[in-house]
Amino acid sequence: MAIALEYTAGGDDAAGREQLFATIARDLLEKGYSINPCAMAPELAQSLLQKLHTMSERQFVPAGIGREQEQMLNTFVRTDKICWITGESDAGRQWLEWAASLQTFLNRRLLLGLFSFESHFAHYGAGDFYRRHCDAFKGGSNRVLSIVAYLNPGWLPGDGGELVIYPEGVPAGIKVTPALGTVAVFLSEDFEHEVLPARRDRFSIAGWYRVNSSSARRADPPL
């Protein structure tokens, strides 16, 4: 119940969802990123939180950097641990369905041609960070849209762990508090970003939509 009280918007009804998706589409068109507090439906946030509670730390593995095939551990760049979401649990499936409905909406509204989606839970313990980076490189990866959803009830300003997005011409960046239900979306190639050191456990889901870059000469299947 305490969690439901934190919400002022973003109900699970179809109309609320459409409105959120429309806001994301407009923001992406106008500025390339979209930050939405209280965006995730309380039922979905609850179910993901409960899922996290049932998971053991052993299910999380140190995150790597680079394309999946060339994963490298680099604890100078990032120290979080991750667990890929496969859709085997109810909560995972609900999340993937939600992400798929956003994909369908954005493809219709912005003709983005998003083709596949991959996502993982991430756990940042106290002191963990992810230094300034880009999720895609022009001409390299086919990640076009990044999404991050936060799962931290009662996050306080002193808890750190903010996501900072750096639009061109905004050297100080834009800070996003990783509070329960907040959803941030941005064009993967266009925005460097970082995760400031967290001072307590911080949970998020990070996901990426890809376009299909297979061709007659080069097969590039999704994971």
Q: Which residues bind ligand OGA (CB under 6 A)?
A: 122, 130, 135, 148, 163, 193, 195, 204, 206
Residue 99, contacted partner among Mn ion, ligand OGA, none, CB below 5-8 A by kind: none
Q: Least distance in Å: CB of 173 to ligand OGA? A: 13
Residue 163, contacted partner among ligand OGA, Mn ion, none, CB below 5-8 A by kind: ligand OGA
173: left (phi > 0), else alpha (psi -120 to 50), else beta? left
Q: Least distance in Å: CB of 19 to Mn ion? A: 26
Comparing every residue's Cβ against Mn ion, the nearest one is 135
Identify whether the C-beta of residue 147 lies closer than 8 Å to the C-beta of residue 185: yes
Residue 188 CA to residue 112 CA, distance in Å, equals 13
Which one of residues 80, 128, 135, 159 is an interface residue with Mn ion (CB under 5 A)? 135
- E strands present in 37-98: 61-62, 64-65, 72-73, 81-84
Residue 94 CA to residue 136 CA, distance in Å, equals 26
Q: Which of 141, 139, 135 has the alpha carbon at shortest distance from 166?
A: 135
Q: Least distance in Å: CB of 113 to ligand OGA? A: 22
Q: Using CB under 5 A, which of the segments 71-79, 93-101, 132-140, 163-171 binds Mn ion? A: 132-140
Do strands 183-187 and 143-150 pair parallel, antiparallel, or not at all (unpaired)? Answer: antiparallel
Residue 4 CA to residue 32 CA, distance in Å, equals 30
Q: Using CB under 5 A, which of the segments 72-80, 89-97, 135-143, 150-158 binds Mn ion? A: 135-143
- The residue among 10 and 173 lying less far from Mn ion, judged by its C-beta, is 173
- The residue among 158 and 218 lying less far from ligand OGA, judged by its C-beta, is 158
Identify whether the C-beta of residue 204 lies closer than 8 Å to the C-beta of residue 150: yes
- The residue among 11 and 125 lying less far from ligand OGA, judged by its C-beta, is 125
Residue 25 CA to residue 19 CA, distance in Å, equals 10
| Interacting residues with Mn ion (CB under 5 A) | 135
